[in-house]
Structure 1
Amino acid sequence: MSLEITITEAIKAAMRSKDKVALDALRAVKSQLQLLKTENRDQEITSEQEISILQRLIKQRKDSITQFSAQGREDLSEVERAQMEVIERFLPAQLTEEELEVQVRMLIEQTGASSIKDLGKVMPLATKTLAGKSDGKSISEMVKKLLS
């Protein structure tokens, strides 16, 4: 089932249960999917694009949480955190730190990277291979850690 259909069903469920936080988060996802569909009228939306949208929305929520917490607005921070949790349910299972390390080690071996200077070889492959399974920041930190 496509993400759009899944989100539509989840919106209906949130409306029935009167879950405003989930409804707002799901509508944001649906809005971004519709925007992508409009931009790419002649192309089918890929699962990588759908995952990218979800990750972008989660990153926006994380940034908002950081800003609201810095300003002492824990009420708004909690709303963003709850929305982030709703959106995360639609992402594939995320890798643990140990699993991420194993995957990155294999990619480093594949590329023949040996030092931090080879970061440019590993990162494009790592972000493509691990898309949806881990966020870019975690991937970058792990690659830097293992190449140092």
Structure 2
Amino acid sequence: MAIVELLNQDMKQAMKNKDKVKLGVIRMVKASMQNEAIKTKKDALSEEEELTVLARELKQRKDSLHEFKEAGREDLVSQLEDEIKIIQAYMPEQLSDEELEQIVVQTIEEVQAQSKKDMGKVMSALMPKVKGKAEGSRVNQLVQKNLS
């Protein structure tokens, strides 16, 4: 089932349950997907594009969460944590460190990377493989570790 269809079902359920937080998050995510479709001049996004939008929304909230924690805004921290949990429910299962490490090593061998100079080659070959399944910062750290 496409992510948009799942969002629509959950939005109806959130309306019935009067779950304002979940409803608000779903509406924001759907709006972001609609804006992306308009920007790319498409009627509907592919599943990969939907995952990209979800990942972007998740990253924005995680960045905000970090800022709010530093500022001591506990009221906003708990709200953002709830939003993050809701968005993560639509993301694919995250790769474990072992699985990610295996994919990184395999990709380094595929592109025949020798040093950190080849980081760009490795990342460009690797990111499509792990899209939505691992954060870019985690991937970056593992690539650096394996190239040194």
Question: Which range, TM-score by smaller chain?
Answer: over 0.9
Matched, 1:83 2:83: yes
Equivalence map 1:81-120=2 (5 Å): 81-120=81-120
Quick one: structure 1 residues 44 and 11, their matched pair in 2 at CA, closer, same or farther if it must change by over 3 Å? Answer: closer
What residue in structure 2 maps to residue 122 of structure 1? 122
What are the superposed Cα offsets for residues 28-70 of structure 1, whole Å, 9 maximum, x if unpaired?
1111111122223346411111001000000011011111111
Moved more, 42-51 or 107-116: 42-51
Indicate conservation of the 8 Å contact 1:24/1:83, yes or no. no
- Which ranges of structure 1 fall in alignment gaps of 5 or more residues? none
Q: Identity rate of aligned residues, in percent?
A: 37
What residue in structure 2 maps to residue 64 of structure 1? 64
What residue in structure 2 maps to residue 31 of structure 1? 31
Quick one: structure 1 residues 40 and 121, their matched pair in 2 at CA, closer, same or farther if it must change by over 3 Å? Answer: closer
The code of the aligned residue for 1:115 comes to S
The code of the aligned residue for 1:45 comes to L
What are the superposed Cα offsets for residues 63-93 of structure 1, whole Å, 9 maximum, x if unpaired?
1111111111111011111101100111111
The code of the aligned residue for 1:126 comes to L
Moved more, 35-44 or 76-85: 35-44
Matched, 1:48 2:42: no
State the secondary structure of the residue aligned to 2:12: helix
The code of the aligned residue for 1:92 comes to P
Q: Report the RMSD for the aligned CA atoms in angstroms.
A: 1.3
What residue in structure 2 maps to residue 147 of structure 1? 147
The code of the aligned residue for 2:110 comes to Q
State how far apart, in whole Å, the 1-side matches of 2:92 and 2:41 are.
26
What residue in structure 2 maps to residue 133 of structure 1? 133
- Which ranges of structure 2 fall in alignment gaps of 5 or more residues? none
State the secondary structure of the residue aligned to 1:121: helix
The code of the aligned residue for 1:20 comes to K
User: How high is the TM-score relative to the length of structure 1?
Assistant: 0.94
What is the CA-CA distance between 1:145 and the residue it aligns to?
1.0
